[in-house]
Amino acid sequence: IKTSKNGIFTGINYGKIINCKNNAELNTDSGKTHVGAFAGHNIGEIISCINNAPLHFGGHYSGGIAGYSTKKIYSCGNYGAITQLEGKTDTGGIVGQNQATVPIEKCFNFGSVNGGIATAGIVGKITAGVQINNCFNNGEITADAAGISAGIAADVKSGVTFTNCYNSGAIKSGKTILSAEAAIYNTFPETSIPIIKNCYYLACEGEGKEGTVSLTDEMLKNEKSYNGWDFINVWSFDLSGNYEYP
């Protein structure tokens, strides 16, 4: 791929990538930015794609699905462990940095994400007003000691709305386990406060940010705990018992 933007499927996605899976491990050096399993830079659509493999990133803007996105990512998931070189920025289980105004919807992360400056289960950094709807993180998220981390999105800018999301994964910065404050989102001090609608997190030490709701393990397994969620068309529970949350 003759570009700094790298993905196993494509460096820059101009079209549609639909119903694809990646099982190939990816390693990139420190000179490679904009890297993801399916696209380094997404300016098209990525729909119903799953990454199952470990991903090792050496540069900025790295994600389990796309490194950087200005367009649609829908119904995608990551199971692979993600690591990013220390000191780099914007790492997410789904996308490293998002500048799209179209919503990120129905995405999830089960893999551990060990990143640099801004690290999260779904999106490392959001620089435009975007909606994140019906997403969840179950992976352990860790940022550099000097960085910030969060369950859903780490470096959140103005105009962002979180609707019907939850986090059940541990959130860390360096070796410090963070309180509930970072369960859904995190920001640098100068950024504004996003809009939170019906977002929940597995109870842990501390208090969550305004608008987020703490649930015990048993409550997180109960459909009645989720105000306003659609358990007919969007959410469901795994009846096999392999995963007890929605």
Give the integer Cα–Cα distance in Å for 45 and 55.
21
pLDDT exceeds cutoff 90 at 234: yes
Note the pLDDT of residue 8: 66
Predicted confidence (pLDDT) per residue in 46-90, tens digit = 999 999 999 999 889 999 999 999 999 999 999 999 999 888 999
Q: How does the average pLDDT of the chain come out, rounded?
A: 91
This prediction has a pTM of 0.94
pLDDT exceeds cutoff 70 at 14: yes
pLDDT exceeds cutoff 90 at 191: no
Bridge partners (DSSP) of residue 136 are 108, 166
pLDDT exceeds cutoff 50 at 2: no
The DSSP 8-state label assigned to residue 16 in this structure reads E
Buried b (16+ CB within 10 A) or exposed e, 178-189: bebbbbbbbbee
The DSSP 8-state label assigned to residue 219 in this structure reads H
Q: Enumerate residues 6+ apart whose C-beta is below 8 A from 223.
A: 229, 231, 237, 246
Helix, strand, or coil (residue 143)? strand
List, as one string, the DSSP characters of 21-45. Answer: EE-S-EE--TT--SEESSEEEESSE
Go through the chain and tell me how many residues it has: 246
